[in-house]
C-alpha cells in the first residue's frame, strides 16, 4: 500500500500508467468508505474524508451549498437513529491534474427511519436513485472529497400511516 506522502510526490511528477490504476483505486476507496461510514454511523471517520473547505450540494434540501460542518450535522440529524443503506456503482473517474480528480457515481440509497425520525420527517422509508458528482484533491493525508453534489433521478417516499391516507408510497422523478 502506498503512503499518502508517496502519492503526493508521485502526483508532482507525470503520472505513469501503472500509478494511474492505483490512484483510481485510492479514490474508489474513499467513496467506499463514505458509504460504509454513513451506514455504520462512524461520524468522525466520515468527517475525515472531506477537506476542511469542502462544499456540499443537495438541491432537494436547499439551493445554497452546505459547509462541511453543516452537512455533517444534517447527515447525523437525519440518520443517527435510522438504518441507511448506500450503494455506489461503476464510477466515471477522471484525473483532472496530478492532484485533482472528478467522479460521477451512480447511486442507490434506502433509509428506514426510526420512530423518532418518522415523527420528524413524516416518513417511514425512502428509496432513492441518482448520482453523486464529486471533486477530489490529493492532500498530505491522501485523496479527499472537496466537493459533493447529489442529484436524484427517482425517489420513493413511504409516509407514516397517519399521513398516508390510503396511499402506499409517493414516487418522485427528478431531473439530473
For 97, counting Cβ atoms within 10 Å of its Cβ (0-12 exposed, 13-18 middle, 19+ buried), the class is exposed
The pLDDT assigned to 69 comes to: 97
Domains of the chain: 4-173 (3.10.450.50)
- Average pLDDT of each block of 10 consecutive residues along the chain (176 residues)? 55 71 96 98 98 95 94 93 96 94 98 91 94 98 98 95 59 63
Which pTM was predicted? 0.84
The pLDDT assigned to 166 comes to: 47
Give the integer Cα–Cα distance in Å for 112 and 84: 6
The strand pairing partners of 85, in sequence order, are: 110
The pLDDT assigned to 53 comes to: 97
Give the integer Cα–Cα distance in Å for 70 and 85: 21
Amino acid at each position: 500500500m502506498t503512503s499518502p506522502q508517496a502519492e503526493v510526490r508521485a502526483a508532482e511528477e507525470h503520472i505513469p500508467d501503472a500509478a494511474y490504476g492505483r490512484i483510481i483505486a485510492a479514490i474508489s476507496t474513499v467513496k467506499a468508505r463514505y458509504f460504509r461510514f454513513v451506514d455504520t454511523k462512524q461520524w468522525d471517520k466520515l468527517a475525515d474524508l472531506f477537506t476542511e473547505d469542502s462544499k456540499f450540494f443537495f438541491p432537494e434540501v436547499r439551493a445554497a451549498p452546505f459547509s462541511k460542518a453543516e452537512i455533517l450535522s444534517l447527515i447525523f440529524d437525519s440518520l443517527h437513529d435510522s438504518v441507511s443503506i448506500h450503494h455506489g456503482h461503476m464510477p466515471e473517474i477522471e484525473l483532472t491534474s496530478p492532484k485533482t480528480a472528478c467522479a460521477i457515481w451512480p447511486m442507490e440509497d434506502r433509509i428506514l427511519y426510526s420512530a423518532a425520525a418518522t415523527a420528524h420527517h413524516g416518513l417511514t422509508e425512502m428509496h432513492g436513485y441518482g448520482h453523486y458528482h464529486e471533486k477530489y484533491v490529493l492532500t498530505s493525508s491522501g485523496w479527499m472529497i472537496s466537493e459533493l453534489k447529489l442529484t436524484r433521478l427517482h425517489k420513493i417516499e413511504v409516509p407514516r400511516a397517519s399521513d398516508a391516507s390510503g396511499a402506499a408510497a409517493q414516487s418522485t422523478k427528478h431531473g439530473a
